[in-house]
């Protein structure tokens, strides 16, 4: 049996750890594992490499961020003719199963391939943690911890020079999960996210109230998708006559070594994906809900 694996969309910590574990599982059976280079583009161009466990086990993949297969956004995901072409290439290459790691868009494409008759297993892998059907996606824990590291460092200065406001912009696209997680864990005083919009006046009053209640400084996390980071900086500086500092974490948040939790989840997701393949249960996505790893329909 031949299994193909694709890492699609934005990269995230944990992808390599997943690939390594899947290769290990395949090595214990009669399965051959190949990896398509550059996401779905690799399927289109029939560009792949063998993922023999003995060959990749010494590469320290478990602790490496990014993807050994590279990744990318495929512009033709909504083109039905292109999807049929991808199916034909998979069939020509003798691929029996396709495992797709990625976010919402990548997994929607996986669903299309499944509907066309390809045996597909989806794996939620995005730092945004915004894939429907699962409470957790690979990379989210690492992204949260990167945010907390930045905020912890800022707090040293904030404590030494009180009276200021610090705005920390996180990644996440249109999903505010990372910014909100920092707030939920007590690292931020306010989280500004697309899912819970507030007016300028409300924000100014919230900050005023927190200073009145004894805060020595204010830390605000904001999701990049709002595209209002600099607007809020200028707003608060003018309205409150206080110094506002902006930190944009950027792609540092998406790279780097995965946390222990993301490495663990990568291994568990790989085991669940391989179990679905062994059971010939296709058209499914690995998921984590209510504290348990399982699967749901793509």
Report the DSSP beta bridge partners of residue 169. Answer: 222, 248
Could you tell me where the beta strands, DSSP code E, fall in 28-125? 32-36, 48-50, 97-102, 120-124
Of the listed 11, 128, 130, 262, which one is catalytic? 128
Burial of 108-141, coded b for 16+ CB within 10 Å and e otherwise, reads: ebbbbbbeeebbbbbbbbbbbbbbebbebbbbbb
Q: Within 13 Å and on the Cβ side, how many CA atoms surround 223?
A: 22
* Token pair for 109: 């494409």
In this structure, the number of other CB atoms found within 10 A of the CB of residue 225 comes to 18
In this structure, the number of other CB atoms found within 10 A of the CB of residue 200 comes to 13
Strands 292-297 and 244-248, by their bridges, are: unpaired
Distance between CA 147 and CA 179 in Å, rounded? 8
* Token pair for 58: 């010494």
Distance between CA 22 and CA 41 in Å, rounded? 21
* Token pair for 117: 């008759």
- Supply φ then ψ for residue 158, to 5 degrees: -60, -35
DSSP reduced 3-state for 188: coil
In the residue annotation, 281 being an active-site residue is answered as no
Distance between CA 65 and CA 16 in Å, rounded? 7
Catalytic amino acids?
128
């Amino acid at each position: 049996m031949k299994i193909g694996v694709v890492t699609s969309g934005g990269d995230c910590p944990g992808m390599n750890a997943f690939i390594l574990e899947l290769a290990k599982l395949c090595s214990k059976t009669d399965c051959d594992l190949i990896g398509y280079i550059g996401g779905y583009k690799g399927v289109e161009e029939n560009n792949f490499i063998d993922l023999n466990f003995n060959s990749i086990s010494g590469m320290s993949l478990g602790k490496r961020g990014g993807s050994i297969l590279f990744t990318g956004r495929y512009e033709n995901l909504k083109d039905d003719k292109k999807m049929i072409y991808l199916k034909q290439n998979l069939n020509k290459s003798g691929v029996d199963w396709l495992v797709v790691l990625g976010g919402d868009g990548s997994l929607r494409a996986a669903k299309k391939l499944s509907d066309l008759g390809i045996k597909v297993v989806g794996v939620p892998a995005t730092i945004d943690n915004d894939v429907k059907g699962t409470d957790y996606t690979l990379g989210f824990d690492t992204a949260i911890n990167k945010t907390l590291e930045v905020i912890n460092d800022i707090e040293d200065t904030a404590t030494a020079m009180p009276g200021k406001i610090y705005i920390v912009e996180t990644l996440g696209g249109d999903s505010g999960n990372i910014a909100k997680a920092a707030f939920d864990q007590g690292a931020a005083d306010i989280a500004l996210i697309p899912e819970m919009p507030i007016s300028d006046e409300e924000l100014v009053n919230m900050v005023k109230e927190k200073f009145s209640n004894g805060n020595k400084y204010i830390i605000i996390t904001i999701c990049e998708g709002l595209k209002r980071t600099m607007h809020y900086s200028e707003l608060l500086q003018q309205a409150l006559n206080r110094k506002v500092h902006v930190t944009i974490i950027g792609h540092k948040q998406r790279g780097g070594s995965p946390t222990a939790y993301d490495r663990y989840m990568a291994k568990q997701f790989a085991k669940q994906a391989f179990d679905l393949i062994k059971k010939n249960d296709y058209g499914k996505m690995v998921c984590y809900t209510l504290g348990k790893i399982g699967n749901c329909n793509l």
